[in-house]
Amino acid sequence: MNFPQAFPVLATQRLVLRDVDDRDVEAIFEMESDPVAMRYWSRPPMRDRSEAVAAVARARQFFPSRSALRWAITLRDDDRALGHVSLFGFVEASNRAELGYGLARRHWGQGYMHEALVAVVDCAFGDLGLRRLEADVDPRNLASIRAVERLGFRREGWLRERWQVGEEISDSALFGLLARDWAARER
C-alpha cells in the first residue's frame, strides 16, 4: 500500500472530494442527525451539534495517524459538504481496506455518491496500490447494495446479528471488490 504523503484531493465532473475540516460541522450534523439517513448505520443518529464537532475532530486525525482517509464530498462550485466517503481498516500487509460512505438525504438520487465512489475506488486501486476493498452493508439497505454492486462489488458473506444499535439487531452483508476486477470493468 502506498499511503499518500499529502491528503489526496479528488475531482470529478461535478464534485471535489477533499479532507474533512471544521467548515463541515453543520453539514455532518445535518446528515448524521437525520434518522432516515442514519437508518442503517452502526450507531444512532446524532442528537447534539457537539457530536458533529467531535466527529470532525476525530476525522481530522485519520490522515495524520494513517488510520483512514475521509473525504468530504462537495460540489465543484460550492464547498459545502454533501456527505463523505472513507477508506479505513487498512491492512497494509494484505493491501486491503474497507469502504464507507454517507450522503445527506436532500442529495439522494442525483448520482453524487456513485460519482464520488468511482473517484475513491480509482484512487484506492491506483495511487494507493490496494488490491482489495470491502464494504459492510445492512442487507435491508437496498440503495447501498445497489451502489456497491454497480461498482462491481460481489456479495461474499453474511454475518447474522452483527450489529446492535439501541434495541435493534441487524445482520451484515459483506461485499468485496478486487483491483483486477475493477481494471477489467473499465476495459
Query: How does pLDDT run along the chain (187 residues), one tens digit per residue?
Result: 899 999 999 999 999 999 999 999 999 999 999 999 999 988 999 999 999 999 999 999 999 999 999 999 999 999 999 999 999 999 999 999 999 999 999 999 999 999 999 999 999 999 999 999 999 999 999 999 999 999 999 999 999 999 998 889 999 999 999 999 999 986 6
105: CATH = 3.40.630.30
Residue 39 in domain? yes
SS3 (DSSP) at 15: strand
Residue 176 in domain? no
Domain extent for 108: 10-136
- Per the structure block, which three cell numbers stand in for 122? 480509482
Residue 107 in domain? yes
Residue 83 in domain? yes
State the pLDDT at residue 46: 97
Domain count, the chain: 1
Q: What is the DSSP letter of 36?
A: T
Residue 111 in domain? yes
Global pTM reads: 0.95
Tell me which long-range contacts 111-116 makes (C-beta under 8 A, separation of at least 24): 112/14, 112/15, 112/73, 112/82, 112/83, 113/73, 113/83, 113/85, 113/147, 114/147, 114/150, 114/151, 115/12, 115/13, 115/14, 115/15, 116/12, 116/15, 116/17, 116/71, 116/73, 116/83, 116/85
State the pLDDT at residue 185: 86
State the pLDDT at residue 42: 86
Residue 40 in domain? yes
Residue identified by cell 494484505 is: 94
Residue 149 in domain? no
Residue 4 in domain? no
